[in-house]
């Protein structure tokens, strides 16, 4: 094993370990902080693979924006910050068994599917020029479909988080006072 492979393997172990802690901790803020560790290890893996641009995008977008947005959402919704029994299913052994089985199946499929596919690392393969050419020439349609999917999930999250949307007292979706034709102040 080369030094790159050792560092990459260690970063993978850190990322997986932190991801396990994200889903097993009972404190929501601690879960967000473990998510930062997992994303940071992924960025380190990108650096080892000579994808510097992707690594910095990982740090700026996921660590810098997504986790901050998650923490901001926790604070705005007044979610329980301390230990919460509602976040725990109570059956940790079953959850661990499902997680291990899923990971084993995914790793097996990846290893079996890409057994002979080995690409040697070359400098500059993860540069902004190479990445831009790949995204905007070869992968432009999946990239745009993914952006629409992310936009739809953002709109769905906003709708789900709003407490003023929902059936009113008459079951129609608006309060009587909020209707424009009811003469209310709405």
Burial of 53 (0-12, 13-18, 19+ CB in 10 A): middle
- Tens digit of pLDDT for each residue in 17-57? 998 888 878 777 888 889 899 999 999 999 998 888 888 88
Determine the pLDDT at residue 143: 77
Predicted local distance difference test score (pLDDT) of residue 147 = 81
What pLDDT shows up at residue 141? 82
Question: Which distant-in-sequence residues (6+ apart) come within 8 Å of 45 by Cβ?
Answer: 8, 11, 12, 15
Instruction: Supply the pLDDT for residue 186.
Output: 47
Model pTM above 0.95: no
Whether residue 58 contacts residue 46, with contact meaning beta carbons closer than 8 Å, is answered with: yes
* Angle between helix 92-113 and 3-24 (nearest 10): 150
Cβ-based neighbours of 37, under 8 Å, separated by 6 or more: 14, 18, 21
In the chain, domain spans:
1-91, 127-164
CATH for 1-91 (1.20.120.1200, 3.40.50.2000, 3.40.50.300, 3.40.50.10490): 1.20.120.1200
State residue 88's pLDDT score: 58
Phi, psi of 27 (to 5 degrees): -110, 125
Q: Which residues of the chain have pLDDT under 50?
A: 186
Quick one: pLDDT at residue 64? 82
For tokens 């479909």, the residue is: 145
27: β partners: 83
């Amino acid at each position: 094993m080369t030094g790159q492979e050792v560092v990459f393997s260690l970063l993978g172990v850190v990322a997986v370990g932190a991801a396990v802690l994200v889903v097993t901790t009972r404190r929501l803020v601690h879960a967000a902080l473990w998510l930062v560790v997992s994303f940071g290890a992924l960025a380190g893996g990108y650096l080892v693979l000579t994808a510097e641009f992707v690594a910095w995008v990982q740090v700026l977008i996921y660590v810098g924006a997504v986790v901050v947005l998650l923490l901001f959402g926790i604070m705005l919704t007044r979610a329980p910050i301390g230990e919460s029994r509602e976040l725990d299913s109570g059956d940790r052994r079953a959850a661990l068994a499902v997680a291990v089985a899923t990971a084993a199946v995914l790793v097996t499929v990846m290893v079996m599917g890409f057994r002979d596919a080995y690409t040697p690392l070359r400098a500059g393969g993860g540069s902004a020029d190479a990445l831009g050419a790949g995204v905007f020439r070869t992968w432009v349609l999946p990239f745009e479909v993914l952006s629409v999917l992310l936009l739809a999930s953002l709109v769905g999250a906003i709708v789900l988080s709003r407490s003023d949307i929902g059936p009113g007292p008459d079951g129609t979706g608006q309060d009587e006072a909020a209707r424009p034709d009811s003469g209310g102040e709405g």
